[in-house]
Amino acid sequence: MESQPGGSKMNLPRKKRQKRTYFTSNEKGMVVNVHKYVKQTWPTDEYPYKTRIMGKTASILGIGVDGEIVWIML
């Protein structure tokens, strides 16, 4: 018996960072169209902060705002 608990003896491969994927031209068009829609339908009693509009657009499309090229496109 071993005196100390040990983990698995297998060496697992290191997790690599995923490569950044870019949007296709169709996806870019969708982002722009959804952004325009969100901006047009934004409540009039609320100031249209760009960060909030971007967050709403990203949540509708199911993409992340951080690290994406959404900021660059708009």
CA distance 74 to 70: 6
Three-state DSSP at 9 gives coil
pLDDT digits (tens, 9 = 90+) for 29-39: 988 899 999 99
pLDDT at 67 over 60: no
CA distance 72 to 27: 14
CA distance 65 to 43: 21
Q: What confidence category does residue 74 fall into, taking pLDDT thresholds of 50, 70 and 90?
A: low
pTM of structure: 0.63
